[in-house]
Structure 1
């Protein structure tokens, strides 16, 4: 029993990195906005997004557990065209994703430090810092840092959640008119919410990359049950916290007549006050530190994840003999630099930047979901490790769910359906 516990702890890490990636924009921004604007109307959609995306994230970890390789190698074995599809679609989304999370992080840092600096400048400094930290410390430093940050966030969020439950929801202001979900704006926000709930499906490749890196770090070939335990732990934490953030927004802001700001610094102050309204003013500094730490952890994992995934993709496509560390560093620098240019162009409106990134992620999600399903059901995987029963059924239902909502979004956006 003691040996099994030690092995599980040795495998623990990639799931926490996954949770740190998720509990950023999708939770602090989108789940909070959902509660503040629509109360609990979007609760079922948050649950469904977490449920129907689950198999495709799990398949990334499952592939690593079965083969001790990243699922990107599985893409390559299915045909170079599969890897090309992944590469091109990732290029279409990764800069907006990185720009969105970094810009929110800059607002959190401004709020924490009491600065009134241009968030664009702060975003650039954060991207430079993340790139340097990862280039020097790589996976081991990232793993250690995020275990501490994740623990602080989990405790503070659960404390605030139970605090607002004890207080109950605020009384709506006189003349409050709830937003209509089944209007064009509501449907577009719904798709944006589900786009990163818990995160973008294409990020499932990171689970396998981190799992392989963890094996290299510890020198231990993790068993399938240990890989899946680590992943499931991280996934459950992200799903629970999404509901906590929704509740914070619904109990503290819904019906207040106050909307979350599009200015990243003002927005950050509003989010921190969601906690302090539940816990008391004494907690403001603690929560401000936790909120910034959360967004910083998301930014650094996103820079690492895209750098790692794009570096490995380029290696598999073009540079089989090139050291992966060199490609990883080059891609990190490129991701940070181009994302900063996106911030320069789109920084005037936080909501627009976030909605662009999250919506794009959702529209391309069915493609990545299908690729992961195709790889995990292929001959690359031993029969004993292939998904069966409820997981296989859930994956098929998930493909239908993601495809259907992507079509609905496109129909609404191009006004083929009038609302």
Structure 2
């Protein structure tokens, strides 16, 4: 087995035990708070500016009423990320390797998805990171120039650094976000009694879509599938690291929960009570910055913009690194399958730790995320591209939840690490939730 615990192949069929299931169990490592890291990276990447705005708007419209949905959302993400990490550690195979074992349709979907999604997301991430810089340094540079500089900064940082450095900078971003968001939440003087009441599951009129969005949206992107790759990059390569991975995952999404609750408090106290509306998308955070300046002064507004920048740029760095790892694995395993042909057992594909980050598919996808999307900064997104991006993006989370249920209840996973009743319930609930959100997103597209 490779030093990263990764191997190639289509795996076994349902009911057939994997080789990992018959091997001697590795020694269990002690879980330590000092080793927490990959979960923070995936959570920080998944919580972008758009997610913070969605939570803020929910608070501004319904006060604390939907606080319970934010809590449920964190539990759903813990279940999804745990399942992804468990697959990597229990089987020694990557999530893309698992998808390949389910049939050629998964490879076809991923190939189209990762191409279209990366093209559109690259422009969105650069623009999102540029917005707070324009507000922090008015008149210095235009939005497009800042966006290009952010994209180039992300490219250079990921190109020349390995996972260990990426993890450290993401820890810094999370620290900034944590301090700033909590500071703003405290400044607006939350009513703790109302907040506790919001933990009771209630659906006010017109709140269904906001509720589903809170449960399914915050911290949930393609980077959840990258969690297993970051786990392996950390050096956690077998089931002996299972306890550590679970601690890491829970700490990460509890931190995410704090972000969500804090932004809901800001929306409830600062906007809902005053009946103030903000713009949609990332522009809503700039609107909030202006409101904070009017109420609390320039220092608080500047601090909030710094937190906005940390949220946006951490998502950019995380995607540039994590999705490039996914794409590199996709290319490597597709090439290995073609070289092998149709007969015999699939060859073992060994990938040394850190080697994938230096590969040409990894760096090629980095370039794809950075340079072609810059053209979209000057153009309205083409109609057909918007449709394709919306449909493919909406389908990804149901795809992830469904395939994890399939993989972790079959002979592809060693028996002791297959899903238990709780994992099955959580993944099935997540799958149903994401199907509803998928249908809603597709309905809202400008057909």
Task: Note the alpha carbon deviations across 1:157-204, whole angstroms, 9 max, x for none.
Answer: 2232233234899xxxxxxxxxx963xxx877776666632222x332
**1:76, distance to aligned residue in structure 2 (A):** 2.5
Aligned to 1:177: none
Q: Does structure 2 conserve the Cα–Cα contact (< 8 Å) formed by 1:164 and 1:251?
A: yes
Is 2:358 the partner of 1:341? Answer: no
**Residues in 1 aligned to 2:388 and 2:104: alpha-carbon distance in whole angstroms:** 29
**Residues in 1 aligned to 2:276 and 2:30: alpha-carbon distance in whole angstroms:** 49
Q: 1:396 aligns with which of 428, 444, 447?
A: 428
Aligned to 2:263: 245
Q: Does structure 2 conserve the Cα–Cα contact (< 8 Å) formed by 1:56 and 1:373?
A: no
Partner SS for 1:223: helix
**1:313, distance to aligned residue in structure 2 (A):** 1.0
Is 2:254 the partner of 1:206? Answer: no
**1:301, distance to aligned residue in structure 2 (A):** 0.7
Is 2:327 the partner of 1:310? Answer: yes
Is 2:416 the partner of 1:368? Answer: no
**1:144, distance to aligned residue in structure 2 (A):** 1.0
Residues 237/256 of structure 1: CA separation in 2 closer, same or farther (3 Å cut)? same
Aligned to 2:218: 197
Q: 2:417 aligns with which of 377, 382, 385?
A: 385
Residues 25/97 of structure 1: CA separation in 2 closer, same or farther (3 Å cut)? farther
Aligned to 1:100: 124
**1:284, distance to aligned residue in structure 2 (A):** 3.5
Rg (Cα) greater in structure: 2
Partner SS for 2:225: helix
Aligned to 2:170: 146
- What is the RMSD of the two structures over their aligned residues, measured on CA atoms? 3.7
Is 2:146 the partner of 1:122? Answer: yes
Query: What stretches of structure 2 of length at least 5 have no aligned partner?
Result: 1-27, 194-203, 338-348
Q: Does structure 1 conserve the Cα–Cα contact (< 8 Å) formed by 2:390 and 2:445?
A: no
The equivalences for 1:13-412 within 5 A come to 13-40=37-64, 42-115=66-139, 117-166=141-190, 182=206, 196-200=217-221, 202-215=222-235, 223-254=241-272, 256=274, 258-261=276-279, 267-273=284-290, 281-318=298-335, 324=356, 325-346=359-380, 361-410=393-442
Residues 63/168 of structure 1: CA separation in 2 closer, same or farther (3 Å cut)? closer
**1:64, distance to aligned residue in structure 2 (A):** 2.1
Q: Does structure 2 conserve the Cα–Cα contact (< 8 Å) formed by 1:153 and 1:291?
A: yes
**Residues in 2 aligned to 1:126 and 1:196: alpha-carbon distance in whole angstroms:** 24
Q: Does structure 2 conserve the Cα–Cα contact (< 8 Å) formed by 1:192 and 1:359?
A: no
**1:6, distance to aligned residue in structure 2 (A):** 7.5
Q: Does structure 1 conserve the Cα–Cα contact (< 8 Å) formed by 2:73 and 2:214?
A: no
Residues 278/85 of structure 1: CA separation in 2 closer, same or farther (3 Å cut)? same
**1:78, distance to aligned residue in structure 2 (A):** 3.2
Partner SS for 2:277: coil
Q: Does structure 1 conserve the Cα–Cα contact (< 8 Å) formed by 2:116 and 2:389?
A: no
Residues 240/278 of structure 1: CA separation in 2 closer, same or farther (3 Å cut)? farther
Q: Does structure 1 conserve the Cα–Cα contact (< 8 Å) formed by 2:77 and 2:253?
A: no
Range 43-52 or range 99-108, more displaced: 43-52
Q: Does structure 1 conserve the Cα–Cα contact (< 8 Å) formed by 2:60 and 2:268?
A: yes
Residues 90/40 of structure 1: CA separation in 2 closer, same or farther (3 Å cut)? farther
Between Structure 1 and Structure 2, the one with more helix by share is 1
**1:32, distance to aligned residue in structure 2 (A):** 1.7
Q: Does structure 1 conserve the Cα–Cα contact (< 8 Å) formed by 2:50 and 2:281?
A: no
**1:374, distance to aligned residue in structure 2 (A):** 1.2
Aligned to 2:11: none
Task: Note the alpha carbon deviations across 1:297-340, whole angstroms, 9 max, x for none.
Answer: 11111111221111211111126789632211111111222332
Residues 122/17 of structure 1: CA separation in 2 closer, same or farther (3 Å cut)? same
Residues 37/105 of structure 1: CA separation in 2 closer, same or farther (3 Å cut)? farther
Task: Note the alpha carbon deviations across 1:370-389, whole angstroms, 9 max, x for none.
Answer: 11221222222211112202
**Residues in 2 aligned to 1:229 and 1:316: alpha-carbon distance in whole angstroms:** 30
**1:142, distance to aligned residue in structure 2 (A):** 0.9
Residues 250/234 of structure 1: CA separation in 2 closer, same or farther (3 Å cut)? same
**1:279, distance to aligned residue in structure 2 (A):** 6.2
**Residues in 2 aligned to 1:256 and 1:92: alpha-carbon distance in whole angstroms:** 41
Residues 94/67 of structure 1: CA separation in 2 closer, same or farther (3 Å cut)? same
